[in-house]
A and B are shown apart, each in its own frame.
Chain A
Amino acid sequence: MEAIVTIENLRKYFDIKKSIFSKPRKVKAINDISLNIPRGSIFSVVGESGSGKSTLGRLILKLIEPTSGKICFEGEDITDLGSKDLIKYRREMQIVQQDPYNSLHPRKLIKDIVGEGLKIHYKLPSDEIYVRIKGILERVGLREEHMFRYPHEFSGGQRQRIAMARALVLRPKFLVLDEPTSALDVSVQARTLALLKELKESLELTYLFITHNLAVVDYIATHVTVMYLGKIMELGSKDEIFSNPKHPYTMSLLEAIPSVGRGKRIRKIPRGEIPSPLDPPKGCLFHTRCLQAMDICSKEEPDEIEISKGHLCRCHLYS
């Protein structure tokens, strides 16, 4: 499959100062990541807090500038484009954020929230804008009369639909979904996920789906990337990663999920806490918590190894 987004050796370092006198320290939020997002895929990025998964999404959209590396969208290098040149790409790439309570302007009507992008990108007559807003709201399961209400009148699930409408009204090809259902109750999450799946097919979209929930990934994704402290630990097709996980971190993530209705079970949980990204471990980033750590793991960083076609894993067990 042809890639819609390609990133090469992408890095993003943030400067952190503990006090105004101390020297800034670098947090390597994204540390040398390369990947291809195939057109039409639901490419999911999973990881725990501090893994850099949200930073990755924001980098691809150029909402923040990378420290180094290259980002291509449909074959065009957009890494160094300024805001003017980016405008035509902004139409094609949109984002839905996690918290539908903070991502909608509280004092704007829904029609203005959803229609803002249309006014910026297309010089359309107002009746055409109205028709488009109405159309997209109905597409995500809302109604025409909702256009004249404010965000606080809606439930969490409805707000997330408004955020989806805002992203989709420009008819993008690529959507970053940053934990789109994490703030929702499970019955609402189920319907939101089903809607996302359906929209992806009918509007021919590609998703970068950022989440911490592997069960959601199993339900919706076609590809999985597991991140830990700014690096890719394992990457492959969803079926491959779930049926044949190789990296101890992926295995422990799968292991840690509570299973429904199967009673208690004994499981292998990684020990210790997630290390601070300010002070990541030497060698393999995961060795401090890994149940299968060997001597070499604390000394040398493992390379990416191709387990099978398209299945990459960064672990000494397979080198």
Chain B
Amino acid sequence: MSRLLDVENLRVIFHTYRGTIKALNGIRLWLNEEERLGIVGETGCGKSVSALSVMRLIEAPGEIIDGQILFEGNDILKLSEEDMDRHIRGKRMSMIFQEPISALNPVFKVGFQIAETIAHCNDISIGDAYKLVPESLEMVGLDWKRSIDLYPHELSGGMAQRVMIAMALAIKPKLLIADEPTSALDVTIQAQILQLLDELVKIGKNAVILITHDLGVASEFCDRITVMYAGNVIEISNSEEIFDEPLHPYTKGLISSIPIIGASRELTGIPGSVPDLVSPPSGCRFHPRCDFCFDRCRTEPPTLSEISPGHFVACHLYSDGVKEG
């Protein structure tokens, strides 16, 4: 499979009155065509900022200060805003968000909003695009006659997320970015939406970046998982291996924190809390909370290295190729 997206050394900062927040600290991500990548991590780890950067949606006070984002071989950070709008955003890649109802425009009917998207990406008139709306709505499992004339406030969370999916996939994107698409939904509705997304993405051959804090969701939906912590990518692996053989102490801590039905085990959690990214810890950003911390961790930031085929980790325990017992 060919490479669709390649993010290298991406650095993003936010200027605030408290100082500069180093939100992304030189991250590396990649994605093949039709592949599904999960980005997991806790609040403030930079998972949403990564996605917004790929869409080039970082606005002041945020700033991309370094790195490259190769999408289909072109560095999209070098494109003009106009080219980005005309050729990439909403054409080759699209995005769905956590709060579907607030992501929709409250003053227009659902049908019109979908038509607008279709018109924009196919360069056709709104009238012509409107004829394609029923098909879009049926595709996401909505009764088009009943839903086409509804306003966003009349939709339930699940229906609104279906509409968002219809809009995002109507343009047949190469890459779909889903930022916590089911976090605001009830579990049964979450299961429905994930199943729908799974079917549609299979048919549409879209590559997906799924951002979630729920490791269960990521593990079921994705081929590969990237774990982020405090603005760094700390581990990348396929979705089975990351749960069976996590390497990074943070990933281990995260997995041992998840309550699992029938597991009847004590939850250990991770001591301490997430660092303030205005003045992140020196060296490895996880070292103040890490049980395995040694001198080198306090001074030298670890780099991502491949321990076994396809399994990358950024931790000094594994540098020099030695695997800790």
Contact = CB atoms under 8 A, between A and B. Distances in A.
A209 B267 CA distance: 18
Contacts of A48: 186-189
Interface string B176-195: 00000000001111111011
Interface residues of B, number: 47
Interface of A: 48-49, 155-158, 185-191, 193-194, 212-216, 218-219, 242, 252-265, 267, 269-271, 273-274, 289
Contacts of A258: 190-191, 194, 214, 216-217, 219-220
Contact of A185 (B43, B187, B188, B268): B43
B244 interface: yes
A289 to B, nearest CB: 8
Interface stretch (B8-16, B104-112, B253-261): B253-261
B39 to A, nearest CB: 15
B170 interface: no
B188 A187 contact: no
Nearest to A276: B156
Contacts of A252: 188
Given A260-B219, A263-B220, A190 B188 contact: no
B211 to A, nearest CB: 14
Contacts of A269: 188, 191-192, 195
A187 B194 CA distance: 24
A186 B42 contact: yes
B259 A219 contact: yes
Nearest to B267: A190
B278 to A, nearest CB: 15
A264 B221 CA distance: 7
A187 B254 contact: yes
Given A191-B269, A260-B255, A261-B242, 15 more contacts: A157-B273, A190-B269, A191-B267, A194-B266, A214-B261, A219-B267, A253-B187, A253-B188, A258-B194, A259-B220, A261-B219, A263-B220, A269-B191, A269-B192, A274-B156
A189 B198 CA distance: 29
B2 to A, nearest CB: 24
A157 to B, nearest CB: 7
Contacts of A212: 186-187
Interface string B129-147: 0000000000000000000
A114 to B, nearest CB: 20
Contact of A260 (B186, B198, B260, B273): B260
Contacts of A193: 259, 267
Contacts, number: 129
Contact of A274 (B186, B190, B195, B257): B186
Contacts of A49: 186
A158 B156 CA distance: 33
Interface in B188-210: 188-192, 194-195, 198
A156 B254 CA distance: 17
Interface string B230-247: 000000000110111000
Contact of A242 (B42, B43, B195, B261): B261
B159 interface: yes
B262 interface: yes
9 contacts: A156-B43, A190-B256, A191-B269, A191-B271, A218-B259, A257-B216, A259-B220, A269-B192, A274-B186
A14 B89 CA distance: 46
A261 B239 contact: yes
Contacts of B243: 260-261
Contacts of B92: none
Among A48, A157, A255, A273, which residue has the most Cβ atoms of chain B within 10 A? A273
A215 B186 CA distance: 14
A215 B188 contact: no
B260 to A, nearest CB: 6
A218 B262 contact: yes
B243 to A, nearest CB: 3
A255 B213 CA distance: 20
B217 to A, nearest CB: 5
Contacts of B84: none
Interface string B215-230: 1110111000000000
B220 A265 contact: yes
B46 interface: no
Contacts of A191: 267, 269-271
A187 B253 contact: yes
B269 A218 contact: no
A106 to B, nearest CB: 18
B100 interface: no
A259 B187 contact: no
B234 to A, nearest CB: 14
A273 B156 contact: yes
Interface in B65-81: none
Name the residue among A188, A190, A271 with the largest chain B CB count within 10 angstroms.
A190
B90 interface: no
B216 A260 contact: yes
B158 interface: yes
Given A48-B188, A186-B42, A215 B261 contact: yes
A190 B42 CA distance: 13
